[in-house]
Structure 1
Amino acid sequence: MEKLTIQLKNIQQNFGAKEVLAIDELSVYENDRIGIIGGNGEGKSTLLKIIHGDLKLEGEIQREVAFNYYPQIAEVDELFNIDALDWALMSQFDVPKINLQTLSGGESSKFWLAQILSVYQMGLLLDEPTTHLDRESVKKLVEELRYYYGTLLFVSHDRYFLNQLADKIWEIQDGKVVEYEGDYDSYKEQKEQEHIKNERDKENYLQEKRRLETAIAKKKEQAEKASKVSNKKKQQSIRPDRLSSSKQKDTVQKSMQKSAKSMESRLSQLQEVRTETKEQEIHFPTPKSVEIHNKYPIRGENLQLTAGDKVLLKQTDFQFALNKKIAIVGENGSGKTTLLDAIVNDREGVVLSPKVAFSFYQQMDYKLYGEERMLTFLMKRTEYPEKLVRSLLNNLGFAQLEISKPLSALSGGEATKLAIALLFVRPSNVLILDEPTNFIDIKTIEALEKLIASYEGTVLFTSHDPYFVEKLADEVYEMKNKQLQLMS
């Protein structure tokens, strides 16, 4: 029999007037490995905080084991416990033995994870543990967690991480938690089956609705004709032997009216089936103002990059072809962001076509202010027609009513998606994206993949997400040993 580790009952969590979570009952058992997914702001981090006991709430929570907790945002000194630290794990994660305050984002994440994993508990809660980690570090974390024997719950938008570790998926949407058996790929298959069934149910609903509406209209028409005939007969001189015939016609009319009302009742009781709004296909034609024909619009000639005293690239040559999707990968601190910055700012050693027009997405690009409406904000910055801009926002998950929101009213997730929309509507022939999948939910990542695939120009991007790279990249360059190497 499975051993219970935690049970939630009648959980209600509100922030102001907004209902974040409403859970009737949810149980977790020993050795469960549960990946938690959902849109930005849906309550994933809130759920982990509830389980850890950091929030007061309405409802019951039964904990049978203690949980270690890795929060999404924390300072090094909040977590630091030098006596408990597993130095072998620190070495495995390649965390340098330097002043803690000088650690990079990726090094800080690895330090926090090493500290959490140094102390064993029967329960482990991880909130976006792969953020800032390079691909090798993610693989090392996966291997470490494979040997963790206890209850693991983790929030993640990293599909590789979910597939490697999850045996259940919890999807949070509209305050509800739905459980799916298997890893992320299994979840996607189940969602696709749900979508197919939903489409079939909707078609059946529409067919029955049309059938009833047609039958009701026909019965009412027949009843109306019977009524006219009956009234006409009543106005005529009717012999006694024809009186019964007139009454029979009245009875037929009432029967038809009763039948129509019965069908109207069935029509009103039909359960309407709603399906998700279908994404509109987007084609980004290159604006005339930024057309480019140079076969290699971006080249490096004897490029040398440094960060302080550290050499990142040493006398490197490269050429990036027109209209290619090019991924730049490498370990934390290898210089990927520095290279993108050098290209955008046309540093010494970078050779750009005179007609190159960049649109650049950086982390933290979501800081937008003011009362201007979303659609107005974008239309002022584009040559594309409004119909295409509306389709773009639709693909990023904005309903038509939401696109009139002022910038100041946007949540962090909404502002991030608007920054992605801005990237695509600016007149450009080269997109530059620096770790675009950080801090956005899986649905937005998948929407971004479709938008990049539809873009006709050249795309340069860095990413630690192997699924993102595999799906999009025509060419992959690795920054390693102070060189930029094309991977086979």
Structure 2
Amino acid sequence: MAQIIIRKVKKIVDGRVLFDANALNAQTGDVVGVVGGNGSGKTTLMNMIMGLDSDYQGNINTDGQIEFVPQINAQNDRSGGQTTSEKIRVAVAKWPEILILDEPTSNLDENHQHQLIKTVENYSGLTIIISRDRHFLNAVTSKIWSVEDNHFTEYNDNFDEFELRQNQEFKRRMDEYARQKDYQSSIRRAVEERKQKAAHIRKGSKNMGRIERAQTKSIREQNAGKMERSAHAMLKKANSGDANKPFQVAPIKLMVTDFPKFTGKTLASATQLKISFDHKILIDNGTFKIKPGDKVALVGPNGSGKTTLIKSIINRQNYLNVSDNARIGYFNQDLTALPLEDKVLNFVQKDSRVNDDRLRQVMGAFGITHAYYDKQIAHLSGGQKVKVQLLKVLLGANNFLVLDEPTNFLDMSAIDALASFIEQYPGSVLFVSHDQGFRNRVARRTLLITKCQLVDPAIQSVNQKVNSDLPLLKMRYDQLIQSGNGDPQEISAMKAKINRLTQ
């Protein structure tokens, strides 16, 4: 039986604790979901389990042959999804006792995601999956290893149950914090009352004569001191149980004036579009239109031409109609284009019209806090570089965002921040994402590539409605012709309308 036993492990990087894990366990039949923020140590822990990293404190006992499939990007003429599917098939075919998958759904279309779920369900060994895909995690996991605040914790839940537990714990801590603050406020009021009373005792009654005031000065001072010491003790006791407020990211707030206004009725469109790549027809007949304020998901199987269409739009190919007023911000995870010597805040701020306070708040929502502002981009982790690159596009002086797989490499909190940003963004957005939950949350429309056809349901529904009137028009036209007494102008107009609908 395959098993992994982790006890009292601590990983230190550059003099600081990256994470610790007191007790993690997994065995044959378990499907473990590993979740946490970018740079929190998830992949590092996998390397330690595989024996590739032995520089840590504590004990990791691994019993079983391991196959590991890393996160994969597109290669040459193949999509990342095609490459990922092949790598997973090869790994499973070896029948390892332990299978480790790093973000396996990042590039998979819906069909391949369904196949992967079936593969994991049918696999009889121990599976460990690093993923930020909520739908996939909930479909396959039997337990969760979560890293938060530099600490790994094990939960014997599927992902939905884990999130529910996390939300309940957050609410409990918020309620505890609110109760403690209310208690401290009441104590401070009582302390202030005692101090005022002590001051009154020390001063003495205004009815006292000079002799009485002098004779009672010592006792009044003693009583006032006791009351002040009592107030100080009350305050100290109240503060000793001070509850820390749970961290909560401030909601994203955008203003229309933060971005250039688009003037016109259409940002991009095409009719009877044909696109080929490497002598292969990807889109043989396509019609679409993107209007101001649209939030459009581009959906299709791996290798169907989604990225090719996107590149055609940003390059303003002459077989497309792209408005001159469209200021396009394009994101495609090309980290080689990042200026590694630039400091994070300066890079994001440059050319942005967003108010500085709002810009910093959006950066914080993505996990790029003030601690990173003065760091050079070269010193960031891979996930952090992706966030900075994405923030540069989102906060740039654009009115049309074109995002190719923006959720890949992002942790869950950053995905939530991206969804919130797109929901409030005043411009138009065209994006590709295989994250079903993300798409369902932000897309208002969908463009579908299927069997070399690009389908815009919005246009198709209008055409279907128009075409549904055609049989009735033809019947009416035939009736007028047969009657012999129809109005010639009405007949002529009806014939012209039928011709337009049948072109």
Bin of the TM-score, shorter chain as denominator length: 0.7 to 0.9
Matches of residues 25-424 of structure 1 in structure 2 within 5 Å? Answer: 25-56=23-54, 57-63=56-62, 65-72=63-70, 104-229=79-204, 237=211, 249=220, 251-285=222-256, 289-294=260-265, 296-365=266-335, 367-369=337-339, 371-424=341-394
| TM-score normalised over the length of structure 2 | 0.82
Following superposition, the deviation at residue 366 of structure 1 comes to 7.2
Offset at residue 484 of structure 1 (A) = 0.6
Change (3 A) 1:176 1:337: same
In structure 1, how many angstroms separate the alpha carbons of the residues matched to 2:290 and 2:107? 26
Contact 1:124–1:153 under 8 Å retained in 2? yes
Tell me if structure 1 keeps the 8 A contact 2:11–2:20.
Answer: yes
**How far is 1:198 from its partner?**
1.8
Contact in 2 for aligned 1:372/1:407 (Cα 8 Å): yes
Judged with a 3 Å threshold, the aligned counterparts in structure 2 of structure 1 residues 343 and 208 are, in CA distance, closer, same or farther, namely same
Choose 451-460 or 392-401, whichever is displaced more: 392-401
Q: Is the 8 A contact 1:52 1:67 kept in 2?
A: no
Give 1:11's aligned amino acid: V
**In structure 2, what residue type is equivalent to 1:150?**
G
| 1:280 to partner: Cα distance | 3.0
Structure-to-structure mapping, 1:431-470, within 5 angstroms: 431-470=401-440
Which residue of the partner structure matches residue 88 of structure 1?
Answer: none
Higher-Rg structure is 2
Q: Deviations over 1:117-167 (max 9, x none)?
A: 112244322222223322211210111111122322210112221011012
Contact 1:13 1:58 in 2 (8 A): yes
Q: CA deviation at 1:336?
A: 0.6
User: How far 1:250 moved relative to its partner?
Assistant: 5.1
Unpaired stretches in structure 1, ≥5 consecutive residues? 76-99
- Pick closer, same or farther for the CA change 1:367–1:207 going to 2, 3 Å: farther
Tell me how far apart the structure 1 counterparts of residues 13 and 211 of structure 2 sit (CA, whole Å).
77
Q: Cα offset for 1:236?
A: 5.9
Opposite residue 298 of structure 2, the aligned amino acid is: I
Q: CA RMSD in A?
A: 3.0
Structure 2 Cα separation of the partners of residues 378 and 483 of structure 1: 38
Structure-2 separation of matches of 1:217 and 1:385:
42
Q: Shift in Å at residue 268 of structure 1?
A: 3.6
Q: Residue by residue, what CA displacement relative to the aligned partner does 1:384-431 show, whole Å, maximum 9, x if unpaired?
A: 221221222122123344334343443322222122221122222211
- Answering whether residue 18 of structure 2 is matched by residue 20 of structure 1, we say yes
Instruction: Provide closer, same or farther for how the CA distance between residues 389 and 327 of structure 1 changes in structure 2, counting only shifts above 3 A.
Output: same
Moved more, 432-441 or 388-397: 388-397
Paired AA for residue 318 in structure 1: F
Residue 341 of structure 1: CA displacement?
Answer: 0.6
Relative to structure 1, the CA distance from residue 304 to residue 103 in structure 2 (aligned partners, 3 Å threshold; closer, same or farther) is: closer
With over 3 angstroms needed to count, the CA separation of the structure-2 counterparts of 1:303 and 1:388, relative to structure 1, is same
The answer as to whether partners of 2:184 and 2:239 remain within 8 angstroms in 1 is no
Q: CA deviation at 1:355?
A: 1.4
Structure 1 stretches of at least 4 aligned residues deviating more than 6 Å after TM superposition: none
Q: Report the Cα distance in structure 2 between the residues aligned to 1:29 and 1:248, rounded to whole angstroms.
A: 74
Cα separation, partners in 2 of 1:4 and 1:317, compared to 1, 3 Å: closer
The match for 1:78 is none
SS at match of 2:388: helix
SS at match of 1:53: coil
Which sits farther off after the overlay, 196-205 or 370-379? 370-379
CA distance in structure 1 between the partners assigned to 2:113 and 2:203 by the alignment? 80
SS of equivalent residue, structure 1 residue 45: helix
Q: TM-score, normalised by structure 1?
A: 0.85
Relative to structure 1, is the Cα distance of residues 373 and 46 closer, same or farther in structure 2, using a 3 angstrom cutoff? Answer: closer
Tell me the CA shift for residue 379 of structure 1: 3.0
Bigger drift between 299-308 and 176-185 goes to 176-185
CA–CA distance in structure 2, aligned partners of residues 202 and 366 of structure 1 = 45
Quote the offset at 1:287 in angstroms: 5.8
Give the drift of 1:292: 2.0
CA shift for structure 1 position 101: 8.9
Give 1:246 shift.
6.7
Amino acid at match of 2:138: N
Task: Please say which of residues 417-426 and 452-461 is displaced more in the overlay.
Answer: 417-426
Contact 2:287-2:455 at 8 Å conserved across structures: no
Q: Structure 2: how far apart are the matches of 1:289 and 1:440?
A: 27
Deviation readout 1:81-121 (Å, 9 max, x if unpaired): xxxxxxxxxxxxxxxxxxx9975533322222112111224
Q: Is the 8 A contact 1:52 1:69 kept in 2?
A: no
The question of whether the paired residues in 2 share the 8 Å contact of 1:130 and 1:138 is answered with yes
1:297-354 per-residue CA deviation (whole Å, 9 max, x = no partner) reads 2111232211111111114222223321111111221111000011111213201223
Deviation at residue 36 of structure 1 after TM alignment: 0.7
